[in-house]
Amino acid sequence: MRTLLGLVLLCYALAAAAVIETYEFSDPALEERYHALSQELRCPKCQNQNIADSNAPIAQDLRKQLYQQLEAGASDEEILEYMVARYGEFVRYRPEMGGATLILWLAPLLLLVLAAGVAVAVVRSRRNAAEALSDEEQRKLQEMLEREQDA
Amino acid sequence: MAPRLKLFLPLILFVVLALFLFRGLSLDPRAMPSALIDKPFPSFTLPALQREQTLDRSLLLGKVSLVNIWATWCISCRVEHPYLNQLTEAGVHIVGVNYKDDSDAAKRWLADLGDPYSINVVDAEGSLGIDLGVYGAPETYFVDAEGVIRYRHVGVIDERVWNSKLAAIYREIGGELPQQLAEASP
C-alpha cells in the first residue's frame, strides 16, 4: 500500500517537473491563472500540445510573455486577444465562436440532431412494419385462419 | 426513400467519405495561416546587425520587401541561403531578421556564405518574432511598399517553391525582378 502511494506521488512529481522554468508570482491567484491559461493556449510549433506541456522554444517564449503580462496586470481576455492577434484563433483550444470556427462548434450539435432523426425514423418504420399488413397479406391470413377452423 | 435507393446508401456514404479523405491527402495539417495577413508590419525598435544603427519599420516603406527570419542555429536557413543570394542578385529587396541568435556567429555566417540582406535587424529576445507570429525559422514575410504584410511563407525558399508559387505573389504585390533570375546549376 505504501509503495503504491509512493508510486502515485512519484507520477505527480514527474508531471510537475515537465515544465522546465519556474516563475515566482507576486500573488498565488496569478499563478493559478498562469496555469489555466498555459493549458488553454496551443503551441503554434508542436500543434497538438499546449504551451504548458511543450518544450519548443516558441512555447517557452509564450510562457514568458504570459508571465510578464500577468504580472503587469493584464486580464485573461487581454492576454488571449494579444495571442490571437499574433498567432490567430489557432492558438486557442477553445476558439471564439463565429466565422470559420462556427462549424467546429455546431457540427457536434448537428450530428446529434441528425442521429436522433435517423433513430426516430428507424423505430417508426419498424413499428409500422409490425402493425400494418397489406391487403394481400390480410386476405392470406384470413384464409389460413378459416382453414384452421374447418380442420 | 425508395427501397431501391436505400440499397445505395452505403455506397453513397463511402464515396463522400472517400472524397474527404482524398482531399486530406493533399492538405498540410501544419499549414497555419498568418494572423497578420493584410495588416501593417508591426512596429519595432531594434539594433542593426552589421552597423551601429537603430532600425524601425520605416525601413520597409517605399518598396516591396521580403522579410526573412533566420538564425545560425537553423539548419533549413543554411539550405535556403544560396537561393536568397540569387534573389538578391536578381534585384529582390530582402531584409533579414536575425532571430534569437548570437550576433558574432551571425556576422561570421554572412561573411562565409555571402550576405543577401540589404540590412539585418537583430531580434535577440524574439520580441519582433512574437509580434509577427513567428513559430520557427525560416519564415519569410512578403511586405508591400506600404509596409503591409501580404503573405507569409513558412519553410525553405528554393527554386521550386519560388517558381511555382512565390514569384507570382511577389509580382502581384508589386515586386519587380530587374535582372533575370540565374538558372540554378544542375
| For helices B75-89 and B103-113, angle between their N-to-C axes, nearest 10 degrees | 50
Bridge-based pairing of strands B139-143 and B119-123 is unpaired
Mean pLDDT of A31-46: 91
Query: Is the bond leading into B138 cis (omega within 30 degrees of zero)?
Result: yes
| Interface A:B, Cβ pairs < 8 A | 37
CA distance A84 to B34: 10
Domain boundaries, chain A: 2-96, 102-150
> Chain B, 104-143: which have a CB under 8 Å from a chain A CB?
126, 129-136
Bridge-based pairing of strands B46-47 and B54-55 is antiparallel
In chain A, what residues touch B32 (CB-CB under 8 Å)?
44, 47, 87-88, 90
Predicted confidence at residue A20, as pLDDT, reads: 63
Cell numbers placing A83:
495571442
Could you read off the pLDDT of A45-99 as tens digits, one per residue? 887 889 998 888 889 999 999 999 999 999 999 999 999 999 988 889 888 877 7
- DSSP letter for A47, please: T
* Class level of CATH domain B33-172: alpha beta
Closest chain B CA to residue A81: B35
Answering whether pTM is above 0.80, one says no
Residues contacting residue B4 through CB under 8 Å, at least 6 positions apart: none
Rg over CA atoms, chain B: 21
Predicted confidence at residue B186, as pLDDT, reads: 45
Scored b (16 or more CB within 10 A) or e, B17-46 reads eeeeeeeeeeeeeeebebbbeeeebbebeb
Closest chain B CA to residue A125: B1
Predicted confidence at residue B100, as pLDDT, reads: 93
Contact between B41 and B57 (Cβ < 8 Å) = yes
Predicted confidence at residue A14, as pLDDT, reads: 52
Question: For every one of its 186 residues, what pLDDT tens digit does chain B have, with 9 covering 90 and above?
Answer: 567 888 888 999 999 999 999 998 888 777 777 889 999 999 999 999 998 999 999 999 999 999 999 999 999 999 999 999 999 999 999 999 999 999 999 999 999 999 999 999 999 999 999 999 998 889 999 999 999 999 999 999 999 999 999 999 999 999 888 777 766 544
Task: State the residue for C-alpha cell 481576455.
Answer: A77
**Facing residue for B32 by CB, picked from A61, A84, A88:** A88
Mean pLDDT of A135-146: 89
CA distances, A11 to each of A5, A8, A96, B167 (Å) = 10, 5, 34, 53
CA distance A105 to B42: 32
* Residue B8 touches partner A, C-beta closer than 8 Å: no
* Class level of CATH domain A2-96: mainly alpha
Predicted confidence at residue B79, as pLDDT, reads: 95
